[in-house]
Amino acid sequence: MDKAQPIIVNIINRNYPPGPGITGESANELAEFLIQKEIVVNVIHINALYEGAGSATPFGNVFSIKTFYNGKNKLLRLFSNLYEGLALLVKSNSLNPDVTICLTDPPLLNFWASLLLRKKKWILWTMDLYPEAFNSGNLASKKNIFYKLIDKIVKKHPPAHFITLGPVQSNYIREKYREQITITEIPCGIFQPKTHDNILQEKPLWATEDDKIYLGYCGNLGEAHSLRFLYECLNNFDPEKHVFILSVYGLKAKEALAYAKDRKGVKVLSSVNKIDLKYIDVHLASLKEEWINVCVPSKTVSSVCAGSAFLYCGLPQSDNWQLLHDAGWIIDAKQNISIAVKHFLDGLSKEELDEKKQKARKISGELNCSKQEAFRNVCQTIIALSALEKPVKYPVNVI
């Protein structure tokens, strides 16, 4: 690579380290990888407070944009998100990158990218899909005039390359765009457990009851997730055999915490460090049917990478289950959830759990290898795109 003319890549996302947020953390990991390949990385994000745990050392030249609203009023948040997306793209374009990588937070960032980057080289990392998420969240019908307009624009001006969360989402995108597109798949939530932590780390104070099985719901509890599944787990776990760790934030968190209040065997934590995820034996996760193509619960991927098992409430035709099924159990969302949860918890043994954990460790290694290969493919795509005078219209690489 010619060091006199380095490739410049802009990464755009609402959150970024040292603030919390799994999408920002993922973007940061890619930034670190690209910088190691002598690519100049600029990161443009929104300067706001975020819910959730975790932080990391930020990589790249970081630029922050101020926002005028960061509350939970849906209408005000929509307007602020629209402003944020436009402001992020305007700032990014002023830096004149060779290639731009857009994630999908704030909502409709891909819409602004389709408008403002149509003559430029850009990549879309679909942590969520918009406008589909508005329909999944019952905010807008697919027949809504604004929905149809946004959808028409994003389909008419697609990116040169997609980064998706898995094969299910990839197939949906191929069907939607109906043209020859290239895709790199990177499941969200992959991390590499540190071996020295396994040797030297002391157990957290909440994880000292070795004779019991630890169940845990850790992370975002939002529109895409089943509150009913969580309630049935709380209703049916046995405090004599289980410890229930609850560490949630998001739209439904307040309601869930109120439901769990004063229950024997439930430990409510403000957050759980990534290195402590392994002390939870079975991580709980869910995804409603209407969200299958739109997003995934990254907590499931992280739990497997930590070496834990999981219980997933959703449909088998989802990326989480397709990628991770050997390390967990599924409760089909179309079943009677109450009966299924009770049956699972009553029959859960430490022997069966140990088998799932062994498979989780194997899958963890495979996921981390696949992530590095995916990062290499993204890097190769960036190099190829930067060498083109016009936006690419043919495959660069596919995995």
127-150 per-position pLDDT tens digit: 999 999 999 998 899 999 999 999
* Residue 318 contacts residue 296 (beta carbons within 8 Å): yes
- Tokens at 264, concatenated: 């024997």
Residues 185-221: pLDDT tens digits? 999 999 998 754 445 568 999 999 999 999 999 999 9
Whole-angstrom distance, CA of residue 220 vs CA of residue 334: 23
Closest CA to 30 of 398, 381, 293: 381
Report the C-alpha gap between 143 and 150 in whole angstroms. 12
What's the chain's average pLDDT? 92
Helix ranges (H only) for 251-393 are 253-260, 298-305, 319-324, 337-347, 350-386
pTM (2 decimals)? Answer: 0.92
- Let me know how long the chain is: 399
- 3-state DSSP of 325-343: HHHEEEEECCCCHHHHHHH
- Alpha helix (H) ranges present in 165-247? 167-177, 195-200, 227-236
> Which amino acid makes up residue 396?
V
The pLDDT of residue 395 is: 45
